[in-house]
Amino acid sequence: MIHLRIVVPTPKSERVVDLLGATPSVSSLARFAGAALDPKGDVILCDVAREDASVVIDDLRELGVPSEGSISIEEIDSQLSAAAERAERAAGGLAGDAVVWEEVQARTSEATELNANFLAFIVLACLIASVGLMLGQPILIVGAMVVGPEFGPLAGLCVAVVQRRREVGLRSLTALAVGFPCGITAAYLFGQLTKATGLVDAGFKLTDNELTSFVSNPNKFSFLVALFAGIAGTLSLTSAKSGALVGVLISVTTIPAAAAIGVAAAYADWPSWRGSMEQLMINLGAILIAGVLTLLLQNRVFERRRSRHRGDFSRAAAGLSTERRHR
């Protein structure tokens, strides 16, 4: 279940209550008349089945609630309520498969910000990967994958494409366009340092270490792995499965490939440099393709649910149009 806290001007409060009260997938409806001070009006609380959360929020948007008041959305971890169970049955479908698009937008908006923490994480991840490449230690490569923050902007770019959110798309592209060069530069400077100090032999090549040479040698499975990981990552984003997201980060070699580009350049290992560039482009492209296609499919399912909901009597109770739109 999803908990909504709605602040709305008093003149519009009645329509909101009528809408929510007539929606079978809503339970625990409460109104506190005059409780809101800014903006002045009422506070309305309710719980809505996760499957119908976004369609109900769309109705509230149509009533103009966000422009005149606010809607806060919270996930309910545990709830004991027969009314809530009836609401979930009325919604139909499975809560685990439902996408609350407002949650997805909030997660990606935060993850696409180009800030000091993002740059620090991507630089540190590339430095860890650089050490792993030089020592031939896969465990360090895995650690670098987990530390890397690049999936956030990649997911944000997918959401921006599907929902046509230009601002999010620009933020995501900026984060990727600045973050990866910073990480690659850090790996290059670290490579130069290790070469100058003799920590690593000046003739080092990435292919010298068999256990980590895969980073600079993409093969026919590289695209497939990144494609599968992109689908899994998108599903983890839309379902808030953080454990699955960690697995996705470990399976995609974007950060190690970026580090390999810098290290190969520092040691003038140009064949490995080209292979690492190819690996990075394959991974980024496959993740974006998989993410966009997954979100398009989920959005299609949501649009069908929203189209059916437009004919619901709850909309008529709030004075909204019940004419269905064909998409």
Q: 27 and 110, same structural domain?
A: no
Q: What pLDDT, on a 0 to 100 scale, did the predictor assign at position 112?
A: 79
Share of the chain above pLDDT 90, in %: 57
Coil, helix or strand at residue 314 = helix
Same domain, 167 and 184: yes
- Quote the CA–CA distance of 302 and 281 in Å, as a whole number: 31
The pairing of strands 40-48 and 26-37 is antiparallel
* pLDDT band, very low/low/confident/very high, at 316 (cuts 50, 70, 90): confident
Which residues make Cβ contacts (< 8 Å) with residue 230, sequence separation at least 6? Answer: 154, 248, 252, 286, 287, 288, 289, 290, 291, 294
Sheet holding 2-8, edge to edge: 26-37, 40-48, 2-8, 70-75
Q: What DSSP string describes 116-168?
A: HHHHHHHHHHHHHHHHHHHHT-HHHHHHHHHH--THHHHHHHHHHHHHT-HHH
Q: 327 lies in a domain? A: no
DSSP string, 18-65: HHHHT-TTEEEEEEEEEEEETTEEEEEEEEE-GGGHHHHHHHHHHTTH
Rounded CA-CA distance 163/240 in Å is 19
Q: Is the pLDDT of residue 313 over 90?
A: no
Residue 173, domain member (yes or no):
yes
| CATH (domain of 29) | 3.30.70
**How many structural domains comprise the chain?**
2
pLDDT tier for residue 307 given thresholds of 50, 70 and 90? confident
Question: What are phi and psi for residue 154, nearest 5 degrees?
Answer: -65, -45
CA distance 95 to 51: 6
State residue 325's pLDDT score.
Answer: 57
In this prediction, residue 133 has a pLDDT band, given cuts at 50, 70 and 90, of very high
- What pLDDT does residue 308 have? 84
Same domain, 36 and 119: no
Query: 22 in a domain, yes or no?
Result: yes
Do 19 and 140 share a domain, yes or no? Answer: no
Is residue 204 in a domain?
A: yes
- In degrees rounded to 5, what are phi and psi of residue 31? -125, 135
- 203 and 284 share a domain? yes
pLDDT exceeds 50 at position 253: yes
**Do 125 and 218 belong to one domain?**
yes
Residue 320 belongs to a domain: no
Q: Is the confidence at residue 251, as pLDDT, over 80?
A: no
Over 60: is that where the pLDDT of 327 sits? no
Task: Please give the pLDDT value at position 229.
Answer: 87
Out of 42, 72, 97, a domain closes at 97
Q: Are 16 and 60 in contact (CB under 8 A)?
A: yes
Please, what is the average pLDDT of the chain?
89
Whether residues 80 and 113 share a domain: the answer is no
> Are residues 35 and 159 part of one domain?
no
Chain centroid to Cα 263, Å, comes to 30
Residues 279, 263 within the same domain = yes
Digit-coded pLDDT (tens) for 278-300? 999 999 999 999 999 999 999 99
Across 53-57, 234-238, 246-250, 301-305, the highest mean pLDDT is recorded for: 53-57
In a domain, 315, yes or no: no
pLDDT digits (tens, 9 = 90+) for 146-173: 888 898 899 899 999 998 889 989 999 9
**Nearest-angstrom CA–CA distance, 240 and 233:** 10
Each residue's pLDDT tens digit, 6-43: 999 998 899 999 999 999 999 999 999 999 998 899 99
- Any domain includes 316: no
86-100 pLDDT, tens digit each: 998 988 877 777 888
Last residue of a domain, one of 56, 82, 97: 97
Lowest mean pLDDT among 35-39, 123-127, 265-269, 310-314: 310-314
Range with the poorest average pLDDT among 18-22, 51-55, 318-322: 318-322
Average of per-residue pLDDT across 174-200: 95
In terms of residues, how long is the chain? Answer: 327
Question: What is the per-residue pLDDT across 206-220, written as a single tens digit (0 to 9) for each?
Answer: 988 888 888 988 988
Give the pLDDT confidence of 57-67 residue by residue, as tens digits. Answer: 999 999 999 99
Question: Of 97, 117, 152, which marks where a domain is finished?
Answer: 97
Do residues 263 and 221 both lie within one domain?
yes
Question: Which residues span the domain enclosing 154?
Answer: 104-304
Q: Does residue 146 fall inside a structural domain?
A: yes
**Domain match, 120 and 91 both:** no
Would you state the pLDDT for residue 286? 93
Q: So what's the pLDDT on residue 295?
A: 94
Give the residue-averaged pLDDT of 265-274. 95
* Whether 87 contacts 47, CB under 8 Å: yes
Q: How far apart are CA 223 and CA 33, in angstroms?
A: 57
Q: Looking at the structure, tell me whether residues 144 and 57 fall in a common domain.
A: no
